[in-house]
Amino acid sequence: MKDIFNLDGRVAVVAGGAGLIGYALAEGLATFGANTFIADVNEESAGKYAAELTAKGLRCSALPLDVLDVASIPAAVARVLSLAGSLDVWVNSAYPKPKDWGLPFEKVPIESWRAAVDSQMTSYCLCCREAAEAMRSQKRGSIINLGSTYGIVGPDFSIYEGTDLTMPAAYAAIKGGIINFTRYLASYYAKEGIRFNCISPGGVENNQSSSFVEKYVRRTPLGRMAKPADIAGAAVFLASDASAYVTGHNLVVDGGWTAI
């Protein structure tokens, strides 16, 4: 039974793999045997992290990928197919955002809103399409999108009071859209044997202010923020045969935040 989590022989790509969550996802997939590509616009960081995992005896490589460059996405897929011979798992974890990401909703310029939606939602859509089409001929594959609790429920703005942090309106629109687009793709590609699922993390530890962390933890049933490794376990499950009958699902990893 434990072998159903085994990813030996699988080829996985983590888009945004040099990010906080992305690197944890790449490490998790590689640890369970996948030949993993850390795909990122920051090639230096991607190379560094790939070297760290390789030094641990894992199969890992860096892959140049700029999700804001339409031509970069099919080029990355083609490179993976050329180097590894197949593509079995694709994880969308990239998080591009405009410089004015934290503006209040009523002050967001329409150009900024459009740029945010285009850079995050559209890039996920294009990555999904390119990855799925690469998987079509083999009649199997797992594509995982990163949603968010704030794609499911509205923000609790009280936890941001007295801090420099906020929750942009575009984030809720984008993540909610990604979650439902994942359901669409799950239905569309089901006949091809390609599964689409989402992971929606709660707040992840990232050197936030102590006052924010205290309020967040107080509101979370499990009494802590998430660690990046908490999200990795969900990715391994959705990438592996352990979830062979799971598609169109949004797996919430939030310590109970959305349960109350």
Q: What does the pLDDT look like over 184-194, one tens digit per residue?
A: 999 999 999 99
Q: Label residue 245 by pLDDT band (50, 70, 90).
A: very high
State the average pLDDT over residues 13-35: 98
Q: Would 14 be classed as within a structural domain?
A: yes
pLDDT at 102: 86
So what's the pLDDT on residue 238?
98
C-alpha 122/C-alpha 104 separation (Å) is: 23
C-alpha to C-alpha distance for 96 and 172, rounded to whole angstroms:
15
- Give the model confidence (pLDDT) of 52-87 as tens digits: 999 999 999 999 999 999 999 999 999 999 999 999
- pLDDT category, 2, cuts 50, 70, 90? confident
What is residue 164's predicted lDDT score, i.e. its pLDDT?
86
Going by C-alpha positions, the residue among 79, 86, 72 that lies closest to residue 126 is 72
pLDDT at 9: 97
* 254: its two tokens: 């939030």
Structural domain span for residue 168: 2-255
Residue 132 sits in a domain whose CATH number is 3.40.50.720
> Which residue out of 124, 171, 189, 216 is catalytically annotated?
171
For 197, the enclosing helix (H) or strand (E) is strand 194-201
In a domain, 260, yes or no: no
- Please check whether residue 132 lies inside any domain of the structure: yes
- Is 171 an active-site residue? yes
Residue 200 DSSP code: E
* Domains contained in the chain, number: 1
Q: Taking 80 as the threshold, does the pLDDT of residue 183 lie above it?
A: yes
- Kindly state whether residue 243 falls inside one of the protein's structural domains: yes
225 in a structural domain: yes
Q: What is the pTM of this model?
A: 0.97
Give mean pLDDT, residues 42-51.
98
- The CA distances from residue 202 to 149, 175, 191, in Å, are 6, 12, 32
